[in-house]
Amino acid sequence: MIELRQLTKTYGDGAHRTTVLDRLDLTVGDREIAAVIGPSGAGKSTLAACVNLLEPPTSGTVVVNGRELSRLDQRSLRDARRQIGTIFQSDGLLARRTAAENVELPLRYLGVTRADRRRRVAELLDRVGLAARSGYYPHQLSGGQRQRVGIARALALRPRVLLSDEATSGLDPEATASVVRLLKELRDDLGLAILFITHEMETVLEIADSVAHLDAGRIVEQGAVVDLLRDPSSALGRALLPRRAHGATRGGAPWSVSYASASVPADWIARAGAALGVDVALLGASIGAVDGHVVGHATIALPPGTDAARLVAVLGDLGLHAAPSAAPADAAREPGTIGRELEPVA
């Protein structure tokens, strides 16, 4: 478990003082993957450095597994740091050592006996799906495999907490998927609290239970991923699952509909049509499951003259949030949306 309270980090002083992290509150529970997303320069790596106390916070507290790290003496701090495994964008493996030797390094430093090291390394490489690659050198492994060796090494001292700073950035989609799958297994099997830092929104949707949006050192929005996706007013929710503009159909006014509850029936379109006594046309949708929760949004069209207030009420009863869709003319101006290719139909 990681608890950050009012964590603040400034560099420099006087006129050169800059606040890189500004009073952050963030909790990562055991068995939770909390993503921190933000653009380059937002302060993400500084946050990672403050959590393992490579950088001392200027003010605020960092509590890891119930221990306040900022209060520990050097010796206890070294101990506490062993409870935190860290992985970075660069796997940081030693090029002249095999996968097994790289994983073994932290155990050697701790003076673990040879037999115990051997057993533990085999166990760790098996854990990350690389038992058959133990004798390979880093250059003989793919990017995703190297990153998994890095994860095995980070797990060598049995940490309860894992920090990941852009660990999937720069990996191809398949390698990213293998790392994401592994981190979720580690969350579930070992109960790790994982702080997953990234600038890639798609990966957040794949991996995270909760997410905080860091911008210029401030958390501007945070919450459980499912809650954000179900909240039509959430900018972060919309960024996680971008809405596409779907052009209007003949005569029908388009409406944007989003899943706002856990109990939306699969046949909601038919039910809404029956309740309203009209045909509901589906123009487009992005609907998916996040950890078994159905989330998403759709664009529908209704015949002219449909009672808007009744529509909102009927869909509301079905667990959906409805609002008139952006005018197709606006959507068409937005680059990269399919609205661009569609001519409004008279």
Ligand X SMILES: Nc1ncnc2c1ncn2[C@@H]1O[C@H](COP(=O)(O)OP(=O)(O)O)[C@@H](O)[C@H]1O
For ligand X, which is the closer residue by CB, 40 or 233? 40
In the complex, the smallest distance separating the C-beta of residue 40 from ligand X, rounded to whole angstroms, is 4
Q: Rounded CA gap, 95 and 83, in Å?
A: 26
- Tell how far CA 68 is from the center of its chain: 26
CA pseudo-torsion sign 28, 32, 38, 41: positive
Contacts with Mg ion by CB under 5 A: the residue count is: 2
DSSP state of 262: T
Query: Are the C-beta atoms of 327 and 255 separated by less than 8 Å?
Result: no
Cβ of 103: how many Cβ atoms within 10 Å? 29
For ligand X, which is the closer residue by CB, 20 or 257? 20
Is residue 57 a contact residue for ligand X (CB under 6 A)?
no
Stretch that binds ligand X, among 37-45, 281-289, 295-303, 329-337 (CB under 6 A): 37-45
For ligand X, which is the closer residue by CB, 196 or 259? 196
For Mg ion, which is the closer residue by CB, 45 or 249? 45
Contact positions with ligand X (CB under 6 A) in 6-35:
11, 20
Q: Which partner, Mg ion, ligand X, none, binds residue 242 by CB below 5 to 8 Å per kind? A: none
- Tell how far CA 77 is from the center of its chain: 28
For Mg ion, which is the closer residue by CB, 45 or 58? 45
Cβ of 287: how many Cβ atoms within 10 Å? 14
CB contact burial 53-73 (16+ within 10 A = b; e otherwise):
bebebeebebbbbeeebbeee
Q: Rounded CA gap, 53 and 47, in Å?
A: 10
Is residue 27 a contact residue for Mg ion (CB under 5 A)?
no
CA pseudo-torsion sign 101, 103, 105, 108: negative
In the complex, the smallest distance separating the C-beta of residue 129 from ligand X, rounded to whole angstroms, is 29
Cβ of 310: how many Cβ atoms within 10 Å? 12
In the complex, the smallest distance separating the C-beta of residue 185 from ligand X, rounded to whole angstroms, is 26
Is residue 41 a contact residue for ligand X (CB under 6 A)?
yes
Q: Which of 8, 10, 19, 45 binds ligand X (CB under 6 A)?
A: 45
Is residue 40 a contact residue for ligand X (CB under 6 A)?
yes
Is residue 213 a contact residue for ligand X (CB under 6 A)?
no
Q: Which of 38, 57, 60, 85 binds ligand X (CB under 6 A)?
A: 38
In the complex, the smallest distance separating the C-beta of residue 321 from ligand X, rounded to whole angstroms, is 32
Q: Which partner, Mg ion, ligand X, none, binds residue 43 by CB below 5 to 8 Å per kind? A: ligand X
Report residue 313: phi and psi, to 5°.
-70, -45
Is residue 220 a contact residue for ligand X (CB under 6 A)?
no
In the complex, the smallest distance separating the C-beta of residue 89 from ligand X, rounded to whole angstroms, is 10
Q: Which of 2, 44, 50, 204 binds ligand X (CB under 6 A)?
A: 44
For Mg ion, which is the closer residue by CB, 48 or 240? 48
Task: Name the token pair of 252.
Answer: 């029908």
Stretch that binds ligand X, among 42-50, 89-97, 315-323, 326-334 (CB under 6 A): 42-50
List of residues 6+ apart from 243 with CB closer than 8 A: 256, 286, 297
- Exposure on the CB side of residue 319, measured as CA atoms within 13 A: 14
List of residues 6+ apart from 260 with CB closer than 8 A: 230, 231, 232, 319, 320, 321
Is residue 45 a contact residue for Mg ion (CB under 5 A)?
yes
Stretch that binds Mg ion, among 40-48, 217-225, 227-235, 320-328 (CB under 5 A): 40-48
For Mg ion, the binding residues (CB under 5 A) are: 44-45
For ligand X, the binding residues (CB under 6 A) are: 11, 20, 38, 40-46
